[in-house]
Amino acid sequence: MFNVETIRKDFPILQRKVNGKPLVYFDNAATSQTPQQVIDAIVEYYSYYNANIHRGVHTLSQEATDKYEQARLKIQKHFNAKASHEIIMTSGTTHGINLVANGFASLLEKGDEIIVSALEHHSNIVPWQMLCERSGAILKVIPMNDEGALVMSAYADLLSEKTKLVFVNHISNALGTINPIEEIIQQAHAVGAAVLIDGAQACPHVKPDVQALDVDFYVASAHKMCGPTGVGMLYGKEEWLKKLPPYQGGGEMIAEVTFEKTTYADLPHKFEAGTPNICGGIAFGAAIDYMNAIGFDKIATYEHELLDYATAQLLNIPGLKIYGTSKQKTSVISFNLAGIHPYDVGTLLDKMGIAVRTGHHCAQPIMDYFKIPGTIRASFAFYNTRDEIDALVTAVQKAQLMLS
Question: Which pLDDT band holds residue 51 (cuts at 50, 70, 90)?
Answer: very high
Instruction: Tell me: pLDDT of 258 over 90.
Output: no
pLDDT higher than 90, residue 1? no
Burial 321-335 (b: 16+ CB within 10 A, else e): bbbbebeebbbbbbb
Give the contacts of 199 (CB within 8 A, at least 6 positions apart). 93, 169, 170, 171, 208, 218, 219, 220
Strands 375-379 and 17-18: unpaired
Longest dimension (CA), the chain: 72
Give me the pLDDT at residue 264, please. 81
- Residue 267: enclosing H or E segment and its boundaries? none
- Judge whether residue 139 has pLDDT over 90: yes
Q: CA–CA separation, 166 vs 124, rounded Å? A: 11
CB 167 within 8 A of CB 195: yes
pLDDT value, residue 387: 98
In the predicted structure, residue 56 carries a pLDDT above the cut 90: no
How far apart, in whole angstroms, are the C-alpha atoms of residue 397 and residue 241? 52
C-alpha distances in angstroms, 201 versus 140, 178, 191?
23, 10, 27
Which of the four pLDDT bands, split at 50, 70 and 90, describes residue 286? very high
Residue 29's contacts (CB-CB under 8 Å, 6 or more residues apart) are 173, 201, 224, 332, 357, 361, 377, 379
| Closest alpha carbon to 336 in 374, 291, 383 | 374
Rounded to 5 degrees, φ, ψ at 393 are: -60, -45
Would the pLDDT of 163 be above 90? yes
Tens digit of each residue's pLDDT (9 = 90 or more) over 291-335? 999 999 999 999 999 999 999 999 999 999 999 999 999 999 999
pLDDT of residue 123: 93
Q: What does the pLDDT look like over 82-138, one tens digit per residue?
A: 999 999 999 999 999 999 999 999 999 999 999 999 999 999 999 999 999 999 999
Q: What is the pLDDT of residue 253?
A: 81
In the predicted model, what is the mean pLDDT of residues 343-363?
Answer: 97
User: Which pLDDT score is estimated for 251?
Assistant: 80
| The pLDDT of residue 372 is above 90 | yes
In the prediction, which pLDDT does 263 show? Answer: 83
Tell me the pLDDT of the chain averaged across its residues. Answer: 96
Which of 132, 226, 279, 362 is flagged as catalytic? Answer: 362
Q: DSSP alpha helices (H): ranges in 207-341?
A: 210-213, 238-243, 278-294, 296-314
**363: which residues sit within 8 A by CB, 6+ positions away?**
119, 120, 121, 122, 172, 173, 174
How would you class 346 by CB atoms within 10 Å of its CB: exposed for 0-12, middle for 13-18, buried for 19 or more?
buried
d(CA 352, CA 18): 8
Q: Among residues of the chain, what percentage have pLDDT more than 90?
A: 93
- pLDDT for residue 237: 98
332-337, strands of its sheet edge to edge: 320-323, 332-337, 375-379, 357-359
- Model confidence at 31: pLDDT above 90: yes
User: pLDDT for 179-190, tens place per residue?
Assistant: 999 999 999 999
With beta carbons less than 8 A apart as the criterion, state whether 183 and 150 touch: no
CB 182 within 8 A of CB 213: yes
**What does R_g of the chain's alpha carbons equal in angstroms?**
22
Q: What domains can be seen in the chain, in order of their start residue?
A: 4-35+295-399 (3.90.1150.10), 39-292 (3.40.640.10)
152, 126 contact by CB (below 8 A): no
**Catalytic residue list contains 132:** no
Distance of CA 199 to the CA centre of its chain: 5
What's the average model confidence in pLDDT over 215-227?
Answer: 98
Of 53-57, 71-75, 231-235, 317-321, the one with minimum mean pLDDT is 53-57
The pLDDT confidence band at residue 174, using thresholds 50, 70 and 90, is very high
- pLDDT exceeds 90 at position 255: no
pTM of the predicted model, to two decimals?
0.96
CA distance 167 to 100: 11
